[in-house]
Amino acid sequence: MTAMLTAEGLGKRYGRRWALRDCTVTVPAGRVAGLVGPNGAGKTTLLRLAVGLLTPTAGSVEVLGSQPDSGAGQLARVAFMAQDAPVYSWLSVADHLKLGAHLNPGWDDSMAQDRIERVGLDPRQRAGRLSGGERAQLALTLALAKRPELLVLDEPVASLDPLARREFLQDLMGIVAEGAVSVLLSSHLVIDLERICDYYVVLGGSRVALAGEADEILASHVMLTGPRRDPGALPAGQELIHASHTDRQSTLVVRTSSPVLDPAWTVSKLSIEDVILAYLRQGNAADRRPALEVLR
Amino acid sequence: MIWLSWRQFRAQAAVIGLLVAAVAVTLVLAHLKLSRPAAGSLHIESTESWHVLQLLGTALVAVPALLGAFCGAPLIARELEAGTQQLAWTQSVTRNRWLAVRMCVVGLASVAATEIFALLLSWAARPADAINKNLFGLGVFGERGIVPAGYAAFAFALGVAAGVIIRRTIPAVALTLGVFIGFRMLFSIVIRPLLIAPVRAVSSLNARAAGLGISNRPGSPGLHAVTVIPQSVRPGDWVYSTQLADAAGHPISNHISPVPAACQRVEFQRCMSALSRLHLHQVVTYQPASRFWAFQGLETAIFVALALALAGLTFWLVRRRLS
Amino acid sequence: MIEFHLDTHSGVAPYQQLVRQVRQALRLGVLREGEQLPTVKDVVSQLAINPNTVLKAYRELEHADLATARPGVGTFITRSLADTTLAAHGPLRQDLERWLGRARRAGLDDESIEALFLSSFRASSERDRSEARDIA
């Protein structure tokens, strides 16, 4: 199956600042992929490059096997929902659907109308008067009704209250359950993604820090706690991601392909969020000189 | 796409439509009044209809600027401000097509509205123009014929380009107005005279040719100099300059010194004879009235070419300078 | 029909939680043989989780011969777990309640009761497992 997204050394520079750099990752199709990282890490840049709103300064990107700017056909296969769900404030909800119908050959109008009714939007309401959650639902409807193969969502729930957030994700997962659509969404809140993502791409410092299937990430990372000692003495096959020490205790996050047998360590499992944070801290530590240890 | 452009500018279109209708009605009435002047009315310039025409002529100056600013500048700037280009450019329509359709629909509508206004004005003012014969005048040339369409196209393209460069509506509106008005003035005053090489005619002045006049210098008893007041070669011609010349054709000052005795005594006929014995000639640099349409065509072509260049720039910027 | 819930902080993988909830429902007789499990779409629409999670859980239930998928119709329970042990539930529950009463009268709070129960349970399970290993 063609990959959802293939990036090779992808980079984007604004003036002298690289918003994204050396991004090489292949995200398989049919997944719900989460793009995580702190603010300013390049998530929005990567998503905009994927949908053709930006062109790369370096490297290349392919989406569903084609270049993002290869024309109307490619645009029809990919749907994008930008941060804060921009809509035309002077158009009504119904007019937005009309817009979608005019501009997309694959538009499914009955699905769009049904969805608007189901999420409780008033078709005659001007989009400028919708709440954040309603705008997000409108933008999602516009994205879904063109029947894309790939849905790209930039922080779709960031400005939603918890109930609206849950409803949005419920809807999104319902749609994924129905059809052959891949999803790539970004968030700086991992907790939202843990429920729904089965693939993760972690950006730290505008680079890819970690990428892989959720199950595999969970299976291959463990937390080791034990008496304070130098983590440099790890056996082969185990890679230190992040270490923190108090005066008596060391805590390591380690990537390993085999069980840890050293009796001095207590081995515990990690959540996805813990693993991601460890990689982000690793990235930060490498950037700062001298490297700091986290002391509690 | 066409539907979207219409919806976005629905309000502006309504206002313009109403204005054009109001203007049309006013002009029809004015034309009717001018063609049948009331008995006993004096010179045409004192009639009310003429004032109305002047007013509308001035308004027509502003029309392309306003359309360019308020229809052109927001076309893209407003999308960029609201972030809706992220919505517009990820539908199944390429950016080029999106831009092309919107520019054409709104641009052509602006040009058409302006030109309708201008044609109505030209038609309504025909009786007055026939008398005044001043088609090349600064306040008249730009409000007749086809140049208003050229101005409208240029102003619109300027507005759109300003919107893409500045990315914010209100500064783009201001820039469009400023640049358009400045360039229009510059063109009318400096560039238009240079478009076609003028005709240089030398003719002799004698008492029969109505080329001489006498004026006093105010506040002085008697005459100190005779100033020749140039008369235009023909009504409707556009005179750049007139110059007195001697019998050999060399330019001399328009002030004649010493003043012939007959003129000092303000004896008009004798003064005229004395002056004609000086074998004065007049060098007139001018554009004949018949070149009116050549100028119209050239100026329109230049403004349209500029509009197309700006449109090309806009396309390039939208493609390269991506949000 | 069973309704699932998810405990994100339990440390147990979501698909395993679903499997456990089905097994629990079967043991308690809430779910019976022949009944339909909720569709994947219904589960994800309610819980906002990845459909693959549900598919994984249902596949595991199929492997354990507890359920079977009928394409185009749904997933159905093929056998129950309640038969042999359900009868013993009643008296066992009564024993438990009596024990709990004694623990409270001895002054144990909730945490101590839970710790006492879990450590005994684990120790006993460990003994059973090592006995099973020795035998095998």
- ipTM of the complex, rounded to two decimals: 0.84
Q: Which letter does DSSP use for residue C136 in this model?
A: -
What would the pLDDT profile of B176-221 be if each residue is shown by its tens digit?
999 999 999 999 999 998 988 888 877 776 655 544 555 555 555 5
What would the pLDDT profile of B227-250 be if each residue is shown by its tens digit?
555 554 677 788 888 777 776 767
Q: Kindly indicate the confidence band of residue A32, based on its pLDDT and cuts at 50, 70 and 90.
A: very high
pLDDT at B281 over 80: no
pLDDT at B168 over 50: yes
Helix (H) or strand (E) holding A292: none
Most B-contacting residue of A13, A75, A83, A92 (CB-CB within 10 A), to test interface:
A75
pLDDT at A287 over 60: no
Minimum Cα–Cα distance from C39: chain A residue = A177
Interface of A with B in 69-108 (CB under 8 A): 71-73, 75-76, 78-80, 82, 84, 86-91, 95, 98-100, 102-106
Minimum Cα–Cα distance from A79: chain B residue = B90
What would the pLDDT profile of C56-110 be if each residue is shown by its tens digit?
999 999 998 888 988 888 889 888 776 666 677 788 888 999 999 999 999 989 9
Lowest mean pLDDT among B164-168, B281-285, C20-24: B281-285
Q: What is the CA angle C121-C126-C129, rounded to 5?
A: 125
Q: Do C40 and A176 touch (CB under 8 A)?
A: no
Residues B266, B273: Cα–Cα separation, whole Å: 12
Q: Do A173 and C49 touch (CB under 8 A)?
A: yes
Bridge partners of B204, per DSSP, are: B281
pLDDT at A291 over 60: no
Other CB atoms within 10 A of residue A233 CB: 7
pLDDT at B100 over 70: yes
Residue A294 pLDDT: 33
More confident residue, B6 or A55: A55
Q: Do B93 and A75 touch (CB under 8 A)?
A: yes
Specify whether the CB–CB gap between B143 and B61 falls below 8 A. Answer: yes
Average pLDDT over residues A159-164: 84
Q: Where are the alpha helices (DSSP H) in B133-205?
A: 147-166, 169-186
Residue B128 pLDDT: 77
Give the CA distances from residue B56 to residues B113, B118, B120, B152, in Å, rounded to whole numbers and listed in that order. Answer: 14, 10, 10, 16
Give the CA distances from residue A274 to residues A18, A219, A277, A278, A280, in Å, rounded to whole numbers and listed in that order. Answer: 27, 13, 5, 6, 10
Residue B206 pLDDT: 61
Q: Which residues of A7-30 are buried (b: 16+ CB within 10 A; e: fewer)?
A: beebbbeeeeebbbbebebebbbb
- Residue A252 token pair: 């390591």
For chain A, the average pLDDT equals 86
Residue A288 pLDDT: 47
Minimum Cα–Cα distance from B80: chain A residue = A86
More confident residue, B311 or A205: B311
Helix (H) or strand (E) holding A54: none
Asked, as a colleague might, if the bond just before A290 is cis with ω within 30 of 0, I would say yes
Q: What is the CA angle A77-A79-A84, rounded to 5?
A: 170
Other CB atoms within 10 A of residue B191 CB: 12
Residue B38 pLDDT: 54
Minimum Cα–Cα distance from B97: chain A residue = A72
Find all residues with CB under 8 Å of A236, minimum gap 6, and list them.
none
- d(CA A240, nearest CA chain B) in Å: 40
Query: Residue B263 in 3-state DSSP?
Result: helix
Asked, as a colleague might, if the bond just before B193 is cis with ω within 30 of 0, I would say no
B322 closest CB neighbour out of A53, A72, A102: A53
Average pLDDT over residues B70-86: 91
Q: Kindly indicate the confidence band of residue B259, based on its pLDDT and cuts at 50, 70 and 90.
A: low
Average pLDDT over residues A181-192: 87
Residue B214 pLDDT: 54
Tell whether B89 is within 8 A of chain A (Cβ): yes
- d(CA C135, nearest CA chain A) in Å: 26
Residues C117, C113: Cα–Cα separation, whole Å: 6
A197 closest CB neighbour out of C6, C45, C50: C50
In chain A, beta strands by DSSP E: 5-14, 17-27, 32-36, 58-63, 78-81, 150-154, 182-187, 199-204, 207-213, 221-227, 238-245, 249-256, 266-268
Most C-contacting residue of A184, A191, A195 (CB-CB within 10 A), to test interface:
A195
Residue C38 pLDDT: 92
Residue C19 pLDDT: 93
Specify whether the CB–CB gap between A180 and A32 falls below 8 A. Answer: no
Q: Do A102 and B4 touch (CB under 8 A)?
A: yes
Residues A154, A80: Cα–Cα separation, whole Å: 8
Specify whether the CB–CB gap between A49 and A56 falls below 8 A. Answer: yes
Stated pTM of the model: 0.80
Residue C9 pLDDT: 76
What would the pLDDT profile of A97-138 be if each residue is shown by its tens digit?
999 998 999 899 998 999 899 888 999 999 999 988 889 999
Q: What are phi and psi of B229, to 5 degrees?
A: -90, 115
